[in-house]
Amino acid sequence: MLTEYIEAAMRKAKYEILCDDNTFYGYIPGFDGVYANAEDLETCRSELKEVLEEWIMLGISRHLPLPVVDGIKLVVEEAV
């Protein structure tokens, strides 16, 4: 399920070329603080995915609600 969630979130990513230095900027709407900037689009995508993964792990560790993406809701249940 985690892989599906990440893939769904990455499909929502937006990219643009920054005019001041011609680098690529990527972000995912609804995922505050998840963004990347790189010299080429492929590197930007790769870095954005890494940031997303770290953001998810931080959210899980702090028991924060994560956005629902394409009907996928990540819920962490405590083991008994």
How many whole angstroms separate alpha carbon 76 and alpha carbon 61?
9
pLDDT at 76: 76
pLDDT at 1: 87
CA atoms within 13 A on the CB side of 74: 21
> Helices 2-11 and 41-61 sit at what angle, rounded to 10 degrees?
130
Report the predicted TM-score, pTM, of the whole model to 2 decimal places: 0.91
**Contact (Cβ atoms closer than 8 angstroms) between residue 4 and residue 72:** yes
How many whole angstroms separate alpha carbon 30 and alpha carbon 64?
14
CATH fold for the domain made of 2-61 = Double Stranded RNA Binding Domain (3.30.160)
pLDDT at 79: 64
pLDDT at 31: 97
List, for residues 30-54, the tens digit of each pLDDT value.
999 999 999 999 999 999 999 999 9
pLDDT at 60: 92
